[in-house]
Structure formats: structure tokens, C-alpha cells
Structure 1
Amino acid sequence: MTQQLPLTLQAYDDAMQEQFNYSPDLVKKVFHIKGQEIVIHFISYQVNKETLERELLTPLMQARRPWSINDLQNRIPIAVSQVTDCMNKATQELIHGAVSIYIPGAKYTVLFSLPEQSKRQLARAETESLVFGPQIAFTESLETNLNVLRWRMDTDDLVVEKFLVGERLKSEIRLVYLKSLANDENVNAFRERIDKLEVDQIEDTSVLGQYIEDSSSTVFPQLIFTELPDRFCSSLAKGRVGVLVDKSPSALLGPMTLFSFFESTEDVYMRWNMGTFIRLLRFSAMFISIILTPMYVAALSYHYEIIPSTLLVSLGQSRSTVPFPPVFEAIMLELLIELLREAGARLPTKVGQTMGIVGGIVLGQAAVKAGFTSNILIIIVALSALASFTAPSYLMGTAVRIIRFPMILLAGFWGMIGIFFGLSFLAIHLLKQKSLGRPYLSPLYPFQAKDFNDSIFRMPFQKNTRRPVNVMPKDVERYSEAEASEHKNGESK
């Protein structure tokens, strides 16, 4: 049972030791000032020792008269301090890098925050590499991430709400949005889902996203995870809501649509026609990745008539030594590609790159010579794999690769009918999905023609005058198209 203040020096020290299970890392120091005893507790590796000695221990050693609680707060030159009469509160603060000072018999203990945090410095993004635009990425330090966010968005319109989630291990979570833009329903959806969480701990932003997303049964991600502060800020400026989690190097954004996962911040930094071309290329690549290998299986299994006669001859020659049906051959090669990819990702960087390149070449050539597969299928599977890597979102690329396997099986069992059945099921499945209660297939369904400018296409800034309607921002209009045209014409004269 937690003891209540006031306590004697021995009772207070015993309570502290009991709270920390008599850990050797808990340091105790006792100062005697003109007959008065002051006891200090801190965890050795959690506090900044230089600041502790200079700003706290030195004033206490130089004291010439007994100090009161008010003296401790007013005469110790440390900005962040608080008082508490709860031992549980004191021990929690010590875990986070505080130093407790207690005068035996007092009703309160004083806590000074002196955290010594080991954190990674700001660096380039790893999972979302860019050619154009800012290169800074979020780190595992929530304080650093908030500092970068405030630096990029220096406005009092930015709202940051604090949550503590976790029954056993508390994680600090910050809900971030622009008050004048973010829809109250979106904010409340995030707030309520975070508030209702009853879990032991939140390990990472991705774990939080899985807890609060609309559907856990689909392979498609419904919320975007990003390590790029510029993408995070750009999404907030569109009216979306973001979440930051302490000790996580990525942020969470919502609500999102399917097309949001094919957008990159590079599209904005390029000229609009280049950005549109690359965005359309990504959409086409995803469709190719899903359909190309199943089309090969369906054509060879049931629909030889759709293959040009000249290509049919080379196909026959290539497959003349292959003992397996096309569906088994395709599944085997797809699994081989996935194994190489996973092995390359888990090995050290230099070894992984070599493993991916050499392993693919050696195994591919060996498989053809051994008669396990054909040259043409190797080309098709390699194209499908390359196409899936064009997705800016790692989770979306993984979802596309997973979908390819049932599509191959459907093509092997029922040919083109199986492929169309699979695509129809996929469309129905996507129509049912939501992100924070918003339609996942917007602007296709419900149809919003004006949202095409900022989702499927990347139109010129002079034409892109509206924020996405599917987000339901409080202020839809970015600026007047007529005024933008007038300013542009005036500058060109």
C-alpha cells in the first residue's frame, strides 16, 4: 500500500525503495542544513548529472539556513518543477527523469525535471526516400518531433492534445490538428478511439493504428504512417488529423483514401505535368502487379487463342521442358521472389543488396536450366515485383503483393472468369471500406469530380483551389481561382 505524506525521513526512504523494488539504480542523498534534513532521490541513468550538480546540489550545499517547500521551488534555478503529495506520482516522475526533494514532515515532495534522454539526431528518411523536397525525418523522441512540427507550422491554430495510454506501460500520445480546418467528427473519432483503448502498452504508431482503424480484417491500410514532417504538415493543412506517439519514428494520419497511398510529397515539388505522369504511372503499376501474372496463368491454362501466334511458338518452346502446370509454376516463382525480398530486408544492408541481386540472377537461371520454369514467366514475375515496389507506401505495396496470390489461384482454376470474379470481389471489398468513417474509394465513390485534382491527378496550383471534400474540412476553399489568375497575369506584364 502506498504511504501518504507527511512521513519521517526513514519512512519516506523506505517507501521510495519499496516502490522501486529496492533497485540499486535508485540514488539517495541526504543534506543537513542547520539541523534540517533534506533527502533527494533520483535514478542514476535517467537524470542529467551535470545539471543536477550545478543547478540543484550546489545551491543546497551552499545553503546557510533551513529551507521550506517554497524556498526549494523559488531558489533552485530549474524551470520545470512541481509538488505532489502522492508517492505514486513521485515515482512515476522519477522514471521519466525527475529528481525528488523531500523535507521530512512536509505535506508535499518537490519534483524537478532533469531528464537525460538518449535520442537519435534528425536524419534523412529511410523508408520514404525522396529526390526533391525536405529530407528531415521524425525520430523516436516525441519532444524532437513536436519541435520540428512547431518549426514547420508556426501558428496558434495548431492544436496538440495529450493522452496517456497503457495499463501497465504508459505511452504518451499527441493528437494534432488545425482547429480552423479539421472536421470535429474526424477529431472526435480519433479522440474517442484513443480514449477507449484498454491495452497493456502501445509499442509504436503502427500498433496504435491497428487498434483504432475501422476494419482489422482487410489487407488494405486505412491510415497512413509517415516519417516525413513535410507530408504530415501538408496533410494537416488539408484538414486531416495526425497522431504522434512517444518513442516512435513515424506519425499517423487520417482519414485517408485508397488514392492517398499512391501520393508522394515529391509530386508537389515537381511540375504538375511531371507529378501527374508519375502518379498515373504508380496507379498503372499497381494494376499491372495484380493482373500480369494471373493473365499469364489464365492464357496458358484456358485461353491460348488470345496469345499471338509468334509468341505462342516461343512460349511452347520455353515451356516444353516444364513439368508443372502454369498455376503451380507461377506460385512457385512468386514465392521465390518474396523469399528473396524478405531475406534481403532482414540481412545487413550490404549483404542484403548482394543477396537480392545475385540470388535472383542465380536462382532464376538455375530454375530455367533445370526445367522448373520458363524464361517468359521469369520476366513477367520480375515485372510484377518491380511494379509493386513503385507504391510510396510500404503497406500498400505489401497489400498488392498479397492480393496477387489469390488472383493467380483464381486464374488457374477458372481462367479469365476467375480473374474478373477476383477483380469484382476486390472492388466490392474496397467499396465497403472506410477510414475514420469516411469513404475509402473517394473521389470515385461517392463521385467527387473536383477532388480528382488532388488525388488521381496533380493539377497546377492555380487550379487546385479546394481542399479534398472527403476529409470534410471546415474551410473547403484554399483561395480564389480568379484572384490567383489575376495575380499571375499581373506579374507577367
Structure 2
Amino acid sequence: MWFTEKNRVDDVAKRLAHSPDFKCRRIQCKGKMVDVLFLSNLINHNYLQQNVLAFIHEQENVSIEQLARCLPIGAVHICETTDDMATYIRDGWAGIYIEKEKSGLAVKIAENIERSLEKAETESLVLGPKISFTESIDTNIRILRQNITDQKLVTEKMTIGERNKLEVRVVYIEDIADEENVQTVKQRLSELHIDEVTDSSVLAQLLDDHTYTIFPQYLLTELPDRLAYNLMNGRIGIFVDRSPTVIICPTTFFSFFETTEDIYLRWTMSTVLRAIRMLGIFFSIFLSPLYVAVITYHPEVLPSALLLTIGQSRSRVPFPPVIEALLLEFMIELLREAGARLPTKVGQTMGIVGGIVLGQAAVAAGFTSNVLIIIVALSALGSFTSPSYEMGATIRILRFPIIVLAAFLGLVGIFVGFGFLLTHLLKLTSLGRPYLSPVYPFRLADIKYALVRLPIKFYSQRPKTNRPQNSRRFSWREAAKRKDLDE
């Protein structure tokens, strides 16, 4: 049941909690009363004056349908209820009610507050585009469309959040992305019943297949070219309004060690860099536990000269190797966390100077040995080789339980930790797809997308891991042909 004009305005004001910035402009237009409702802190007042109020004054016969057709504003929406109208006004739209008409009209005149396009902060690149996404979902969609001009690009709008409603866009290439994956994403989003979602990283946790695992199951990126590359390979992206990062799914374990630079560099260099990243991760997890295990239980595996050097280095250390290793690892994590929370320049100084000073002081005071300082430094450097911040943090945390296992069981404890870790990874899925693919289940054709990088002519097919509808990228035979102009 509809109210009178006055009651409709009062009802909208009530649903906006009688905000002091809620305004109502009443206009007399050819014998009809027109109410224009808005929140003054959210709108562009020039648009309101020139494109709404002035336009209504000039009309001979004003009606909701006529305004919806002719208003010089791109986004308009006819509202049937005051709930709908209040929602749009809360998002920076202006509401229009006309005397004796049941429907209202919402027009978008929001004053967008967003930062300018800047260089990516969390994903550094040497080659390739440097631009990153922003907190505006409209700007992000515009950036994506500049990167992908395919007419099959789909951007489906959804809304999540019971109290604080948030716009979400599911993006994919219609004839490439697997339909089952698309429907799974939509279903999980539609089944979310939560008051609010503050960021894409929070949404990724809500969509996880496995809540209690330490490993991230969806890739977060702020690079448009990385999203475009994954969409063209059959994956799905999820934009969240007010978040500068995009969720990419389904994801494999090896996706967290890939960068778009692997595409821009020659295949030989890309393969070497991927190998360095994987080796760095292995060192980061197992180097410190290996030191603890060998020094505590298996000194016989070391050459005599090296064993003598380590013995001299540890001669003044009062702690067992496990306490020594945990103390240094904790110190490194403390420096990293402090550097991340301080202003950029101060944080860099804290990380470099603090590491040198504390390391030298710890050795001089006899709290640790020189050899362990080198090992912990290598472990810390190895964790930073991961292009993904989430995976890097996961790797750093994994060191601690394996160090404890090495202290109790020696090399056997390291193998037990590795076995448990491998078993856990084999059980994980991302959007219902195997997390360790293409290693398990093994797909030889997809190894070139995970562990190595081959010449471009070998990438004529999209990775089968993503189950693309259209797996063909280009003709391998045509790519293998080379003809000069004089042939």
C-alpha cells in the first residue's frame, strides 16, 4: 500500500535513520509537486542542480516514465517501494517522487571518492603493465574491459550483505570458463547470509572449501593483466566494491608461485626463475629444521671441517639448537611485522638496520651462532620469493611446527612433517577442483603451466585443469611456420 507524498518522504527518512544530511527539495512543476530526496554528503551538487532540478523545471508535463527516458543521467532506476528507494539514496543516488504517481525514480548523481590509478604495491613487476586496481568497482571493470575486448566477457552483478549491502561482480569469458565452476561461484555467493563483507580477502575466506587449512585456496591479485591472463585460461574473477584486490578461482598450489613476468620474459629465464622460487620455498620450510635435526641427532652426516666450525660457533651458546632456532625465527618475524606496520621509509630502515644490529648483538652475546644466522636469513629470503603475500605468510608459519618435530625426532620428524604436509595438500580442493593439479591428478600437458616455462608455440591449448569449454588458443602448426617477406 502506497502512502501520500508527505508520508513517503517521511518513510524514506525513517529508513535512513533520520540522518541530518538527508534533504528534500520540493518543486512546483506545472501544477504537480515533485520531491527530490538525497543525502547531501554523498551526491555531486552540480549534477543535482544542472541535470536534475533544472531539467525538471523545464518540462511541460513531468512524469516518472518521461523522466526515466529523458533525464540527462546515465544510470536511472524505477523504485516500487520505499525500501528500494532508501537503499539507492544510501548509495549516493537521488530519489524523485511525483504527486499522484505510485512509483519513484532513483538517479545516480553520487560523488565518487576514489584514489587515482597507481602502481601495484604488493605485486612488484620489472616488465609489463604497472597499473593496479582501485577501490572503485566501476573503475576496476573499466580497467578490465580495456585489457579484455572479447565480446564474450561477462560481468554479472550480485549483492551480498544483510545490513551493509555490497556490490559484487562475477567476471568470466562465457565460451571459455567451465559452466559448473561459474554456477558453483554464484551459488556460494547467493547462499552467504552475513551482515557485511568488508573486503575481497574476507569474501575469499567465506567461499573457502576448507575453513581450517592454513593454505589460501583462492588467489588475490591487484594486477589487471594477471586477472586477464587467468580469465583467458578459463578461470573466474570476483570483484568486490571498495576492495582493490580481485579473487581468482579455481586456483592450484602452483598458481601462487607464478607471475605475469613469466610470460613477458623469455622461456629460459622464466623456467630458471620458477625453479628458484620453488627452491626458495623448500629452503624456507626445511633449512632451519634440518639444522636443528642434524646438530641434535645426526652430527655424523656433516663433514669434519664443517662440524668443527659449527662446534666452535656454538661453544658459547647456552641453549639447545631448537631454542636457538626458534628464538632467531621469532626475531625475524618480529622485525618483519614491525617493518610492515611502520611508515615505508622507517620500516625499510628498521628491517635492514634492526636485522644487522640484532644479529651481531645476538652472536656477540652468545645467544646464537654465526651459522644459524646465515641459515635463518636464507629461510627468510626464501619465503619472500613467493609472489603471493598469503602463500608467503603460510610458508613462514609452517617452519615452526617442523622445527619442533625436528627437535623431538630428528630427520624422522622432518619426514613426518613433510608427509603430513603432502597428505594435507592432496586432500585440499579449490572450488571443488584438486589443489595440487596438474601434479595430482597428473596431467603431463599442464606441467608447462605449473613447474616450467616452454616456448610460446607449446601453449596452443588452455590448461585442462580449469576445464575450459574452448581449449584451443591458436593453431600449433601455424605458429610453427615461419615465412620471411622474400619467401
**Same fold, judged at TM 0.5 (above):** yes
Match of residue 248 from structure 2 = 253
1:73 Cα offset (Å): 3.3
Shift of 1:185: 1.5
Q: Is residue 468 of structure 1 aligned with residue 463 of structure 2?
A: yes
Cα deviation, residue 77, structure 1: 2.4
1:225 CA drift (Å): 0.3
Partner residue in 1 for 2:451: 456
Contact kept, 8 Å, 1:5 with 1:108, in 2: the verdict is no
What's 1:145 paired with?
Answer: 140
Cα offsets for 1:330-367 (capped at 9, x unmatched): 00100000000000000111111111111111111111
Whether 1:394 aligns to 2:386 is: no
Q: Distance in 1 between matches of 2:12 and 2:393?
A: 49
TM alignment of 1:165-176, pairs within 5 A: 165-176=160-171
1:54 corresponds to which residue? 50
Offset of residue 67 of structure 1? 2.8
Give the AA of the match of 2:17: N
- Counterpart residue number, 1:373: 368
The residue number in structure 1 matching 2:106 is 111
Distance 1:150 1:170 in 2: 25
> Partner of 1:159 in structure 2?
154
Q: What amino acid does structure 1 have at the position aligned with 2:361? A: A
Determine the structure 1 residue equivalent to 2:198.
203
Q: What letter is aligned with 2:82? A: M
Q: Deviations over 1:360-410 (max 9, x none)?
A: 111111111111101110110001000110000111111111111111111
CA deviation profile, 1:60-83 (whole Å, cap 9, x unmatched):
3455x5633344334532232232
**Amino acid in structure 1 at the alignment position of 2:215:** F
Q: Is the counterpart of residue 265 in structure 1 residue 231 in structure 2? A: no
Question: Is the alpha carbon distance of 1:327 and 1:141 closer, same or farther for their aligned partners in structure 2, counting shifts above 3 Å?
Answer: same
Q: 1:74 to 1:263 in 2, by over 3 A?
A: closer
CA-to-aligned-CA distance 1:8-54 (integer Å, 9 cap, x gap): 3x323322222222211001111223543222111102111111111
- Residue 120 of structure 1 aligns to which amino acid in structure 2? R
The alignment yields a C-alpha RMSD, in angstroms, of 1.5
Task: Report how far residue 313 of structure 1 moved.
Answer: 1.3
1:22-421 matches, within 5 Å, as 22-62=18-58, 67-421=62-416
Whether contact under 8 Å (1:226, 1:251) holds in the other structure is: yes
Normalized against structure 1, the TM-score is what?
Answer: 0.96
- Cα 1:119/1:438, change in 2 over 3 Å: same
Q: In structure 2, what is the equivalent of residue 21 of structure 1?
A: 17
Residues 215, 433 of structure 1: 8 Å contact kept: yes
| One-letter identity of the residue aligned with 1:146 | I
Aligned residues: 487
Segment of structure 1 superposing worse, 322-331 or 472-481: 472-481
C-alpha distance in structure 2 between counterparts of 1:491 and 1:285, whole Å: 46
Q: Which one-letter code corresponds to 1:451 in the other structure?
A: D
Distance 1:11 1:257 in 2: 56
Partner residue of 1:424?
419
Task: Output the amino acid matched with 1:266.
Answer: E
DSSP 3-state at the match of 1:172: strand
Amino acid at match of 1:475: N
Structure 2 residue runs of 5 or longer lacking an equivalent are none
Deviation at 1:438, TM superposition (A): 1.1
- On the 8 A contact 2:296/2:407 being kept in 1, the answer is yes
Q: What is the CA distance between 1:491 and its match in structure 2? A: 6.5
Q: How far apart are the structure 1 equivalents of 2:247 and 2:65?
A: 42
Q: Quick one: which amino acid aligns to residue 26 of structure 2?
A: V
Amino acid aligned to 1:7 = T
Gaps of 5+ in 1: none
Instruction: Tell me the SS of whatever aligns to 1:462.
Output: helix
SS in 1 for 2:456: coil
Q: 1:492 & 1:336 partners in 2: Cα distance?
A: 66
Deviates more, 1:335-344 or 1:427-436: 427-436
Give, as a single letter, the amino acid of the residue that structure 2 aligns with 1:373: T
Q: Per the alignment, do residues 180 and 46 of structure 1 end up closer, same or farther by CA in structure 2, a change over 3 Å counting?
A: same
Output the CA distance in 2 between the equivalents of 1:217 and 1:28.
50
CA, structure 1 residues 262+74, in 2 after alignment: closer, same or farther (shift >3 Å)?
closer
Whether the 8 Å contact between 1:5 and 1:106 is mirrored in structure 2 is: no
- Give aligned-pair identity as a percent: 47
Q: 1:6, 1:105 within 8 Å by CA — same for their partners in 2? A: no
Provide the C-alpha distance between the structure 1 equivalents of 2:486 and 2:479, rounded to a whole number of angstroms: 13
CA distance in 2, matches of 1:156, 1:257: 28
> Does structure 2 retain, via aligned residues, the 8 Å contact 1:7–1:106?
no
- Does the residue aligned with 2:116 lie in a helix, a strand or coil? coil
Q: Distance in 2 between matches of 1:379 and 1:43?
A: 60
Q: Distance in 1 between matches of 2:387 and 2:116?
A: 24
Q: 2:143 & 2:28 partners in 1: Cα distance?
A: 44
